[in-house]
Amino acid sequence: MKKLFLCLIVFCIIFSFSSCAKSESADIKTTVISALSENPLDYKENNISSLYTASKNASVKKIYYKDNNYILYSVGNFGYNGPVALSVLIIDGIIVNIKGFNIKETEGYGARAFEDSFLNQFENVNVNDIELFIGSSKPTAESDIIYVTHATRSSTAITSAVNEAVKYYKTYIFTID
């Protein structure tokens, strides 16, 4: 396991110096959990089930847990400037907090989809009371997520990442709680 972890770190360092793409932080656990919790060391990491089938271009990459607190690190569809990555904190089936990472969207446009005014729409929702979040620039139902004007692609990517976290939670975690 230590050799695998060392190889992963070396790969991340090499990949980060590549001119084609930036790597996510080698220490995702600390970064992801610190954004949502005071003490990342309290959380344990769980391997993602090989039986888990992600949607096209979106998936849950990591999961961290402590008691009934679950932090799911999810990568969504492509925004305007690449895939979006975020963490979703779910406590007892309720989405409590969402934070974005490695935000590459254009300031003043797509980056606005990572602001609290958009992300808060997902919070305080019991994941067992919804099928999936539906987003729109012109919502038709009260529960629809209202996309950020001039940031539809980023808003869609974030919604897909949150939906992946919800699907994963409902399929693999809720059933064992």
Q: Greater confidence, 2 or 153?
A: 153
Q: What is the DSSP letter of 110?
A: G
Q: How far is CA 8 from CA 12, 27, 60, in A?
A: 6, 10, 18
For residue 99, the cross-strand partners are 87
Residue 154, token pair as written in the block: 């980023």
pLDDT digits (tens, 9 = 90+) for 158-176: 999 999 899 889 988 876 5
Confidence of residue 127 (pLDDT cuts 50, 70, 90): very high
DSSP 22: P
CB half-sphere exposure, 151, CA atoms < 13 A: 23
Q: What percent of the chain has pLDDT over 90?
A: 28
pLDDT digits (tens, 9 = 90+) for 53-69: 455 555 888 788 877 78
What's the pLDDT at 13?
Answer: 40
What does the alpha-carbon distance between residue 114 and residue 135 come to, in Å, rounded to a whole number?
Answer: 15
The pLDDT mean for the chain works out to: 75
What's the confidence (pLDDT) of residue 14?
37
- Domain locations along the chain: 27-173
3-state secondary structure at position 160: helix
Give the predicted TM-score (pTM) of the model.
0.73
pLDDT of residue 147: 93
Q: Is the pLDDT of residue 20 over 60?
A: no
pLDDT at 19 over 60: no
Locate tokens 């001039």: which residue?
150
Question: pLDDT higher for 56 or 77?
Answer: 77
Per-residue model confidence (pLDDT) at position 79: 86
Beta-carbon count within 10 A of 93 CB: 17
Rounded CA separation 173/125 (Å): 16
Round to whole Å and give the CA distance between 20 and 115: 27
Antiparallel, parallel or unpaired: β 82-91 and 94-101: antiparallel
